[in-house]
Structures are given as structure tokens and as C-alpha cells.
Structure 1
Amino acid sequence: MVEENKEIIAYKGFNQDWTCRGYQYEVGKTYVHKGDVKAYRSGFHACEYPLDVLSYYSPAVSKFAVVKMSGETSKDSDDTKIASAKITIETEINLPEMVKKAVEWIKGKVDWDAAKVSNTGDWSVATNTSSRSAATDTGNRSVATNTGNRSVATNTGDLSVAT
């Protein structure tokens, strides 16, 4: 999916010398990519969810930064990795700060008014089909199901099922 002219706050990993794929970066600088922008292929890459960066860069040997991405962008559905034509390296961020930003990011995605996917009554059902989600149920003779990727279904009631 390609979008344009929307500024996105994201998180980027680097080697210890502030390089990434042979490209030298510096905090406070803006970089522009010439050419096609395609997630996982070309452009500047970062992740909207801070902890997704750890899939690409080990916290023990890497540096991380908050970045602003703009211009043409491209996303893929595997995680929150995004490619952009323009990137500004805003500020360095450490692992505890990334965890705090991750919690804020998750809380910002919660629809607090949505129907609940947690139940405590007997003979109740909790289902969820979204990725990275949870369905819980604590009632007896109850069912909790979840079909999303990286998701969890739990049930603590007697004669109950979680799948």
C-alpha cells in the first residue's frame, strides 16, 4: 500500500556506528531517497510499533532512534515496518524508552468503546479474529477462541475451552 505526504512517527534501528545497510545516518539530519519506495525493498525503513524494531536489530549491539517519515510511503502487512522517501532522525532512544513508547502505542490503538472480548459469566463466549489480540473467559462451561496471528485465547472456568 502506497501513501503520500503524511508525517509518521516511527522507530529505527542502527548499527553502533549509526549505519544501516551501508548508509551513514546522524541524529538531527533529514535524508531523501531518490527512486521507488517499496516496503522491504527500497526507501528508508522504520517501524511504527517500537518493539517491532527488535525483530531487525538486537538491543545488545544496536542503537535506536525516533524518526519522522514522510513523502511517499509503503507498508506491508507482516508487521508495522514502513518504507518512506524522506526520513528525519529525531532523537536517540534507549530500550526502556522504547518499551514506554510501545505501551503508549498500544494504548493509542485500543478502542475503549468497542465490545468486550473478555467474559466472566457462566456459559459465556469470548471470540476475537484480529492479529495481536486476546480473548479471555473465566466462566464455567464457557468458550474463548482467537484466530488472529500472534494472539491468545484463555479460559479458566470448569468444563471450558480455549482455542
Structure 2
Amino acid sequence: MLAYKGFQKDLTCLGYQFVEKQWNRTEKANCRANGFHCAENPLDCLVYYPAWKTSVYYQVKANGDLDEDAVDSKISCTELFLERKLEFVQLLFAGLKFMVVNPKRRWSKIVRAEEGDADQGYAVVRGKNPRVCGKKEGDILVIAREKADSVDIERGAVYIIDGVNFHPGIWYDVNGKIVME
């Protein structure tokens, strides 16, 4: 199963040292108690590893005994393969893709409805008429517009506040256009 996982920069999680490009194995998988934890929704990694500047994120394969969490998309497994390291913007883009492919799934706790600003260097906003604002250069903005008559995503975008194309303190829509108050 394809999933995503956050780690400390040294690839540790709760004291366990993970190794890239090989199967990491443990005995039991229970989301509440043990096993290797990962998330089906990439954005849920930010619930558990919110300090993105001091964390690393991977696309992983979860295998073996699997146990799912009823709270979000967290999974516990007995076998975990660290497939590919993701830059932070890649993790956010993967989260946007997850929303597009799975529009009816429960939203990650980090997704804001209709509007949001980059309070920790990023913002993820979804809705019928969403708007998003960055505070400083380098902020990453993810925006997803739903269809008028359903929760299906009809358009999504990722913008980086660069001071040239996108500016701090300005509200943008999914087309990259400035939205007036």
C-alpha cells in the first residue's frame, strides 16, 4: 500500500532508526499502540510531524499486518519500505493530488475551508470559492476548488510566494488571480 511518513531528520521515529531502500520490520501493528505508523493522506503527516523545517517526509510502502485508524488516514504496519524522500513542496502537492483522487475522504486537520493564510510557512485551503494568502517569501500555498454541485475537485494549484509572481499579503484564488476583500 502506498503511504507517506514523517521522521526526524536522522530517519528516527519514536526511537526507532529506519533505513532507506530496504524493508523495516516489526512484530505487531496496532494504530493505538505499536507498529510502524504512516498515513494514506500525505497531509496527515503534518499532524504528527508539524515542524516541517526539522522533519523529513517519505513516500513509503506499507505491508504486512495493517491496522487503520478511525481518526484520520493513519495506518500501522509491520513492514515499511522508505521508497522516496520528498521535498516539502512535493509532500504538499501529493496532498493536493490525494484530495483530487479522493474528494469524499475526510479532510486532513491542516486543510482550511474557503480561506487561510500561511501561518507556518504554508497553507492548504479547499472550498467552493477558496482563497489563500502567504505572509512572506518562501511560503507555499495549496488551493483546491470544488465543483459547485459536489465535493469533487475541479481545479487545484500550488503557489510559492516569490515576490515576483506571487506576493506576501495578497489573497489569491485557484487561478492565481488576486482576490479583493
TM range (shorter): 0.5 to 0.7
Q: 1:18 aligns with which of 1, 7, 11?
A: 11
Q: Report if the CA contact (8 A) 1:27-1:92 is conserved.
A: no
| Separation in 2, partners of 1:21, 1:66 | 19
Deviation at 1:110, TM superposition (A): 3.2
Q: Report if the CA contact (8 A) 1:37-1:84 is conserved.
A: yes
* Structure number with bigger Rg: 1
**Structure 1 residue 44 corresponds to structure 2 residue 36:** yes
Please name the residue that 2:70 is paired with: 77
| Separation in 2, partners of 1:31, 1:83 | 13
Residue identity opposite 1:38 in structure 2:
N
Q: Report if the CA contact (8 A) 1:70-1:87 is conserved.
A: yes
Give SS of 1:86's match.
Answer: strand
Please name the residue that 1:53 is paired with: 45
Show the 5 A alignment for 1:13-162: 13-34=6-27, 36-57=28-49, 58-110=51-103, 131-132=106-107
Deviation at 1:22, TM superposition (A): 0.9
By relative contact order (CA 8 Å, sep 6+), the higher-ranking structure is 1
Using a 3 Å threshold, how does the CA distance of structure 1 residues 131 and 103 change in structure 2: closer, same or farther?
closer
- Under a length normalisation based on structure 1, what TM-score does the superposition of the two structures give? 0.62
Deviation at 1:135, TM superposition (A): 8.3
Show CA shifts across 1:42-93 (max 9, x none): 1110011111101111202101111000111001111111000111010111
Query: Identity percentage over the alignment?
Result: 27
Deviation at 1:40, TM superposition (A): 2.8
- Under a length normalisation based on structure 2, what TM-score does the superposition of the two structures give? 0.56
Deviation at 1:104, TM superposition (A): 1.0
- 4+ runs deviating over 2 angstroms: 130-136
| Separation in 1, partners of 2:33, 2:41 | 19
Question: Which ranges of structure 1 fall in alignment gaps of 5 or more residues?
Answer: 1-7, 112-129, 137-163
Bigger proportion of residues as strand: 2
Q: Report if the CA contact (8 A) 1:65-1:91 is conserved.
A: yes
